[in-house]
Structure 1
């Protein structure tokens, strides 16, 4: 750790700096009073100033193309893996082989079902994250869906159905139909109609089966989830809303409101909004709407929360509000 202004600074290495989430992480870490970015890795961005890849960043770092063993050899206190699914293992293995002292935050799905890793959804699993060394950051859809269902688990009478829509930044920077603005123009694109990894993740995290269908829309960032839940007993909308308010009382990054939240209002915000809580008494069915920014609370902001907790810092240190 380096010292600056009397306080120890905690070094952070970022693997996967070129992506949308990587850029958000650069800006958050750069502005953090205790963390500082010591290196950034991207094969496609090799040799370029990091500030060119991340608009608004002022870092003087130059992007490097480091192999896993080279990342481990840097000996930084934190390594963030902002990589596509299936690419984390070599970096984890190299860090373990070098002594395994670094805190690793994996933003892919590779370790979300691994009992040896802590699942980083603070609002539901905060205590497990204090001092954690291996943290699996939740998926963006899975974050919103779990927060949207968890308070109702005690009155749940069947499988929740989640209709999710994301901005195309969720499809990453590698060109595909799901991030092609022309193919998305005036369009809504369903995909992974069954078996999406976030469907499994939501169910695993909550301990109940969940049906989830994702869609991509023509807007850039943000997620909206409409969650329909069978109820085991008759519950009024007011009573159900009170359950949500009680569950998230004191949670600075979760807002519960009466109105239906709009996805356009989620863009650029660091929290989750839950609203539109409605009950069909005749059918014993409730509907809840959740919005969040897929790149922030769905990825980078949550990673920062988890890093703060791992080092016993205030959880929201460095999170703009």
Structure 2
């Protein structure tokens, strides 16, 4: 009997948050990956399974610096750190183990042309064996999926009204993730110059006006995108454009009906639809929904890791 193939070693740097928890759960079931390092300063020395039941038994949180983690002989490393903290880790891997596949969940390298920007449904054709992958933002993913099929037909700025569950605000206590303060409320924030606004504008090469809000639910986000069009369209042509872009995507569905956030919460899929045209055919409204912790972060990260390892993108996801 042949021995099973050796699994590749993957490390998670900054694992305490909601996205880290989702990644641990996904990686525990991945047939080709072995979770070999989980970093946390606050939980150093504690068994990971105490906090994450899906984690392998005997694995403990560790608090190592960048150079020491780079010496751990990892095949893949995921950086799940706040914005602005990735550089020392990247430098350490560049120096010690440059062939390690690195995926950064922060915004630090989303504007860096030297990194592959990993929104597979739109960018997989640009993957050219890069070992450095930047994972898109959650809102940015939903906005781009809504806008991309019509990008060449835009006549002006696209307005995007966003609503996210409070898990998008992370675990550090604030008004944006306080269920008591959010009860019966819709909290606007970052209404101009949001980093996801700049991210989508750069990727789509168009003017994006993004207005995010936090709602009382825990997970899932919705984008309502208003697209001014340079000429009149009819709904059949709109449907054909979106079906042509996304018809063969395993993690993206197109629907005539308005997508509901509850339909994607807890799943790795995005839904785009609810196509509504103004009477003159020159204004289109599109709805895009996804789970901010999964397709907006963890499962999309795994899509990108699979792509980087030459595996089917949905391995360990579906």
TM-score (norm 2): 0.97
Where 2:298 maps in the other structure, the secondary structure is helix
Does structure 1 retain, via aligned residues, the 8 Å contact 2:233–2:281?
no
> Secondary structure of 1:268's match?
coil
- SS in structure 2 at match of 1:39: strand
Q: 1:106 aligns with which of 93, 104, 107?
A: 104
Matched, 1:207 2:197: no
Q: Which residue is 1:35 aligned to?
A: 33
1:52 positional shift: 2.4
The offset of 1:13, in angstroms, is 0.4
Matched, 1:227 2:225: yes
**Correspondence for 1:183 among 181, 185, 201:** 181
Matches of 1:8 and 1:177, distance apart in 2: 46
1:245/1:39 CA distance change after superposition, 3 Å: same
| Partners of 1:223 and 1:194 in 2: CA distance | 19
Question: Counterparts of 1:5 and 1:21 in 2: how far apart (Å)?
Answer: 33
Superposition deviation, residue 56 in structure 1? 3.9
User: 1:252 corresponds to which residue?
Assistant: 250
Equivalence for 1:295: 293
* 2:194 alignment counterpart: 196
Cα displacement string for residues 177-230 of structure 1 (whole angstroms, at most 9, x for unaligned residues): 111111111111100110000000011111111111111111000000000000
Unaligned runs of 5+ in 2: none
Equivalences for residues 1-321 of structure 1 within 5 A:
5-282=3-280, 284-320=282-318
Q: Runs of 4 or more off by more than 6 Å in structure 1?
A: none
Give the number of equivalent residue pairs.
317
Cα 1:238–1:283 shift into 2, 3 Å:
closer
Please, which runs of 5 or more residues in structure 1 have no aligned partner? Answer: none
| Separation in structure 2 between the aligned mates of residue 12 and residue 266 of structure 1, nearest angstrom | 27
Deviations 1:70-99 (Å, cap 9, x if unpaired)? 111112011100111111111111111214
Which secondary structure does the structure 1 equivalent of 2:7 belong to?
strand
CA contact (8 A) 1:202 1:210 kept: yes
Residues 133-162 of structure 1, C-alpha deviation per residue, up to 9 Å, x if partnerless? 000000000001001100011221111100
**Separation (CA, whole Å) in 2 of partners of 1:172 and 1:303:** 17
CA contact (8 A) 1:159 1:209 kept: yes
Contact 1:130 1:309 in 2 (8 A): no
SS in 2 for 1:307: helix
Q: Secondary structure at the match of 1:245?
A: helix
Contact 1:166 1:221 in 2 (8 A): yes
Residue pair 2:234, 2:281 contacting (<8 A) in 1 also? no
Structure 1 pair 136–31 and aligned structure 2 pair: CA distance change class (3 A): same
